[in-house]
Copies of this chain bind each other. A is one copy, B any other.
Amino acid sequence: MIRSLTNEKIKHVLKLKDKKYRQEYGEFVVEGTHLIEEAIAFGLCKFIFSLTENSPYPVETLQVSIEVMKKMSNLTTSPGMIAICSIQVSNALTDKILILDGVQDPGNLGTLIRSASAFGFRTILVQNSVDLYNPKVLRSTQGGIFKINYREIDIEKFMNEHQEIHFIGTDLASGIPFSNVHATPAKIALILGNEGSGVQTTILNKTAYNIKIEMQDMESINVGAAGSILMYAFSQMKGI
């Protein structure tokens, strides 16, 4: 059983709390059996640290002390297991894409990934947003993370290079009411913006059209809620 924080494997996990190292090594850390089982199912679980000697999983496992587990964990109550997983980067684009321009709150990103997975928006492209592999985001995704393609992009450059995609912006100021939208092309990219300032104007100016969700006497709703409403509606909408 490992009791020392100077163990190389443990030091490696601690480094992965930092986005820079996650990118350098192409790895991130998940906590708890639910996320670990999802990672194993997708072939992305590389190594497990466990409080118990025997693990039920077919992955190399190292037993660690409670103190070491507490140091590795980002949770108030540290879980019985932590795993190192591979970051999977794919250039594939699904028909339905979610683009995020500056989403900052980890809970909002997690909610959006979870809903995107549920409603078939399996490619998520981001610019200036909170890191997907941030522990708070991972917890909110509830395993949705393993079902998506995720990449950081330059949104305007991507729009220029993908004229075949129908880009749909969200704009509380001058979007068309969403209930006016009754059908959708197959290849769409829904663009959601920052919690305070929304989608940048230079991006809104390049879309096919921009929409707003009709509201009664409120200025806005939470971006995770708004994105979920729109993705569900598009997943149910008839084609053009």
Contact = CB atoms under 8 A, between A and B. Distances in A.
Interface string A215-240: 11111111011101100110110000
A117 B218 contact: yes
A114 B218 CA distance: 8
Interface centre among A140, A147, A221, A224 (most CB of B within 10 A): A221
A142 interface: yes
A130 interface: no
A32 interface: no
Interface residues of A, number: 34
Contacts of A114: 218, 221-222, 225
A107 interface: yes
Number of copies: 2
A176 interface: no
A111 interface: yes
Nearest to A144: B218
Contacts of A110: 222
15 contacts: A107-B107, A110-B222, A115-B222, A118-B220, A143-B218, A147-B217, A214-B236, A222-B224, A222-B228, A224-B224, A224-B225, A225-B225, A225-B228, A226-B228, A229-B229
Q: 8 closest pairs, A vs B, by CB? A: A225-B228, A118-B215, A118-B218, A111-B222, A229-B232, A117-B218, A115-B221, A118-B221
Interface of A: 107, 110-111, 114-115, 117-120, 140, 142-144, 147, 179, 213-222, 224-226, 228-229, 232-233, 235-236
